[in-house]
Structure 1
Amino acid sequence: MFHPSLHTCPRVGALAWALALVCVVPAAQAQAAPSANEDDKATLHYALGAIVSTGPDYAGGDGRKNSLRPAWAIEYGRFRLSTSRGSAFMGHGLRPRESGASATLAENDRFHLSASLRIDKGRDGSDAPILVGLPSVRSTLRARVSGGYALTERWSVGAGVSQDILGRDGGAQLSTSVGYTWPVTEQTKVTFGAGASFGDRKYMRGHFGVPDAGASALPAFSPRAGLYSVDAGVEVMSAINRHWVVFGAARVSQLKADAARSPLTMDPTGYSVSLGLAYRCCR
């Protein structure tokens, strides 16, 4: 499940294996994923909408990128296919907001374990002027295993490991999070969350490194593996009626350690805001 490159980063590797143990033990105790009979009773759920958002042009950039994009998610039983923001409209509590194709491996009232595949679009020189002349971060396919655990009715924790499975120098990532959900009304809930992200050497070099030679005038920089970002945010989900829902989110992130020291980092603090509307069916 884990790429050998993780062994070049003891800190990330240890955390990754710890996550694996945390996932396996509760999974063995958790209620198994839906049985064949339950799958026979499964119905199709979907959400179709759009989200307008603004955020940094790249991690560490001081420019802004604004977008209006369609957002959708389709779910049948324990399988889901969604855009990067579409799963937010499904409102699944413990379940991670995975984009791409995902499947539930095991779950009960307090624990959830899933696996997913998604396309990582990477980064190139068109994202910001400072990136011109640097090697592109090639698009790739990432595999991810993630889990969530409810500490109480409102507090939950989660973690996930993802790996570039096409060998395009995307490396491995580990993310951790803690969240608090406040049910304001029967139709509206507010979720507060905070998290930290770690990368192995390949990931850090690809996203924050500068090679020794090239067309760029920036000084060479070779970041080490480890913690590269912390973040915090708030999300609001409200049902207008049985089918229509609105979603809003604001998040701030702070680059840390070598990511903050990178010549590519113009502003270590970034914020993003998004607002969406969607039609949900059959839930």
Structure 2
Amino acid sequence: MPMMVVMFNQITVRALSMALAASFSLPLLAQQAEPAESKAPVRHYLIGAALSSGQNHVGSDGRELGLQPILGFWAGRYRLSTGRASSLWNVGRETVVDPGLSTTLLSHSDWSLGASLNWDSGRKSGDDPLLAGVPDLHSTLRGKLSVGYAFAPRWSLGLSSSHDLLGRDGGGRYSASLGYRQPLSERSYWDASFAANWGNRDYMRSHYGIPASGQRAAYQLDGGIEGVSLGLGYTTAINHNWVSYAGLSLSRLLGDAGSSPVVGSRQVWGASVGVAYRY
């Protein structure tokens, strides 16, 4: 079984590298697959702000309230965006856009294939008592492959694989999601999502483990399920240029991840509301 996991990780990393390289040489494939942006106008940029309240699973159980920027830039098939900007390019558009530097490699009929690069800022142990004796998580570049499939008019499935591309012990994380979108008008909708996440051994140990350093009891994990999450949101285009949203999220750690001594709360919730201008 461990050998199968290693082989799967190697295949995934190779596939990710090939997909990112292929994004620069897709004209021939595009003759057979419909370009993702053909049904939606290009938004050259998006700028806004969001007020959010949330907390982390790992570390002391403290809630943070803050104002965060919403930024995005679109150039041809490539997009550079912060997390929430990726879903606000065009209200009602079905294409899944990941945060960071992303592109849709192929989009045909009811399915799409995308790739993205995103900078993971890592984690500082600092003065948090739950993280005492735990090494910092190094910042790294993560690459992600995503597949989306709309199996019904309002329902969609998603699969993704994200890996540390710089070899800084970030490991691999995998996700499966189910989404539902209910249009309320031509310019507004509400949506709901459910996702389950898994991690390989490197990911689970770096995020939830405690090494045998002598400062505290070691806690070692193998690869397995990390947790599940629920999301509910409302998005509306105020007019041609302005868009706003509100959302709620709930996530729970499971298995060995939830039992880790560095986890302050197995279950956390968050809320956010924002507005952005797009052109």
Instruction: Flag whether TM exceeds 0.5 (same fold).
Output: yes
Please list every run of 5 or more consecutive structure 2 residues that lacks an aligned counterpart in the other structure: 20-28
State the 1:185 CA deviation. Answer: 1.9
- Deviation by residue 1:214-239 (Cα, 9 ceiling, x = unmatched): 54x4x210011011110111111011
Aligned equivalent of 1:3:
none
Aligned equivalent of 1:198:
198
- Deviation by residue 1:115-136 (Cα, 9 ceiling, x = unmatched): 1111011111138442233200
State the 1:9 CA deviation. Answer: 6.5
- Deviation by residue 1:187-223 (Cα, 9 ceiling, x = unmatched): 21001100100000000000000111154x4x21001
Residue correspondence of structure 1 range 76-155 to structure 2 within 5 A: 76-90=75-89, 91=91, 93-126=93-126, 128-155=128-155
The answer to whether the 8 Å contact 1:146/1:161 transfers is yes
Cα 1:129–1:85 change in 2 (3 A) is farther
The answer to whether the 8 Å contact 1:157/1:179 transfers is yes
Residue correspondence of structure 1 range 1-283 to structure 2 within 5 A: 10=5, 13=8, 31-32=32-33, 34=35, 43-59=42-58, 61-90=60-89, 91=91, 93-126=93-126, 128-215=128-215, 217=216, 219-281=217-279
What residue identity is the alignment partner of 1:231? S
Distance 1:139 1:72 in 2: 21
The answer to whether the 8 Å contact 1:141/1:166 transfers is yes
- Deviation by residue 1:21-73 (Cα, 9 ceiling, x = unmatched): xxx9xxx89952639xx8xxx85532110111111134475221222111111
State the 1:74 CA deviation. Answer: 1.4
Could you tell me the percent identity over the aligned residues? Answer: 37
Cα 1:159–1:202 change in 2 (3 A) is same
State the 1:83 CA deviation. Answer: 1.1
State the aligned residue count.
261
Cα 1:190–1:127 change in 2 (3 A) is farther
User: Secondary structure of 2:203's partner?
Assistant: helix
- Deviation by residue 1:124-178 (Cα, 9 ceiling, x = unmatched): 1138442233200110000111011101110000011011010000000101100
The answer to whether the 8 Å contact 1:33/1:104 transfers is no
Two-structure CA RMSD over aligned residues (Å): 2.9
The answer to whether the 8 Å contact 2:155/2:181 transfers is yes
User: For structure 1, which segment, 50-59 or 241-250, has the greater mean C-alpha deviation from structure 2 after superposition?
Assistant: 50-59
Cα 1:124–1:51 change in 2 (3 A) is same
**TM-score normalised to structure 1 length:** 0.83
The answer to whether the 8 Å contact 1:31/1:106 transfers is no
The answer to whether the 8 Å contact 2:57/2:268 transfers is no
What residue identity is the alignment partner of 1:10? V
What residue identity is the alignment partner of 2:238? I
Distance 2:127 2:245 in 1: 27
User: Secondary structure of 1:223's partner?
Assistant: coil
